[in-house]
Amino acid sequence: MHADDDGPEQSPATRETVMRYHLSWKRRDLDSVMALYHPAIQYNDFFQNRVLGLDELREYVRVSMPRESDEALEHCDRIRIDGNTAFIQYEVTLRGGSGLVSFRSSEAITVKDGLIWRVNEYASLVRETAAAAQASNRRPAASRLGLSPRQLSFMADDLQSYFQRQQPYLDPELDLQRVAKECGYSRNQISYLLNQVLGQSFYRYVNQARLQHVLRGLDTATPPLRIDERAFAAGFNSLSAFYSCFRQHTGQSPMAYAKQISLRARAQDSP
C-alpha cells in the first residue's frame, strides 16, 4: 500500500508516520503500533460506538491485529493524505458461513507531533444476506459485546475451522454453549455472529454442516445408500429436519437424489 503522492497539501511527516503505522499493523508488531500513539490519543470506533484512550488501546489493538500475513483484508484505495490527516479504506471478508458477508471499513488518521493523535474508524456490512441486512442496523448489540469487524472475521474463521476439524455436529446433542466454550468465545458472541452477521440460527448452521457430511459420504458411496442411516450418523436427530434441510439445499428429496446416484453407478458399471 502506497501513499498518494498527488495530494496538494500532503505533509511528509504525516505520510511517514502513517506508513510506519500501516506497516507495523501488517507485521503484527504490537509494540511498534503502540509507540506511534500520542499520549492524548482518541480512538473512535463508530461500529462499536466506543471511544478508547491510550490505556485501553493495547488490548484492543492486540485482538484486532491480523493473525497471518495473508489475512482476508483487501484495500479498496491508496492511502490518501490531506494535510495532517490520512484516509485508509479496506474490506474485511468473514471466512465463515456462506462467504457472502464482508465489512467495508475506513479510517481517518490524524497526526500531531509525529504521532497518531486521532483515529476515526467506520465500518458497515456489505454484500450481506437479506437476514443479515436487517440485522446490520442492530449496532447496540455489537457495542455491548465489544466486537470489531476484524474480531468478527476471526470468530467466523475459528468457528468454521472448529467444525471442519472437530466435526462436533456429529453429536446430536450439540448445543451453542459447548460450541462457544470449545471455540474460546462467549455464548452471546457466537450467537451474535450467527444471527446478526451471518443471518442464520445456530441450529441451521449445525444442520448445514451435518448435511454437507451426508452429501460428501454419498458422493463416494455404492448402493444401497441407506440415506436415513447416514442422516442419523451425521447428527440429525429428526428425519423431518433432515428432509427439510436436504430439499432446501439440493432442491430434491433424498430418495430422488439417491436414485440419481444409483443410476450413475449402474451406467458406469455397464460395458
Query: Which of the 8 DSSP states describes residue 224?
Result: -
Query: CATH number of the domain that 43 lies in?
Result: 3.10.450.50
Q: Record the cell numbers describing residue 5, joined without a space.
A: 503522492
Percent of the chain with pLDDT over 90: 53
The residues pairing with 73 across neighbouring beta strands, listed in sequence order, are 92
* Start-to-end Cα distance in the chain: 60
- How do residues 5-54 score in pLDDT, each as one tens digit? 444 455 888 999 999 998 898 888 999 999 999 999 999 999 888 999 99
- How do residues 60-90 score in pLDDT, each as one tens digit? 999 888 877 556 567 777 889 999 999 999 8
Same domain, 128 and 164: yes
Domains held by the chain: number: 2
- Give the residue from 175, 200, 225 where a domain finishes: 200
Q: Could you give the CA distance from residue 113 to residue 105 in angstroms, rounded to a whole number?
A: 26
Same domain, 150 and 90: yes
Q: Record the cell numbers describing residue 104, joined without a space.
A: 467495508
Same domain, 214 and 181: no
The residues pairing with 90 across neighbouring beta strands, listed in sequence order, are 75, 105
- Give the residue from 200, 223, 244 where a domain finishes: 200
pTM listed for this prediction: 0.77
Same domain, 147 and 252: no
Assess if residue 118 is contained within a domain.
Answer: yes
Q: What domain range includes position 26?
A: 12-200
Same domain, 102 and 139: yes
Assess if residue 4 is contained within a domain.
Answer: no
Same domain, 187 and 212: no
**Does 1 or 230 have the greater pLDDT score?**
230
- Residue 142, pLDDT > 60, answer no
Query: CATH number of the domain that 240 lies in?
Result: 1.10.10
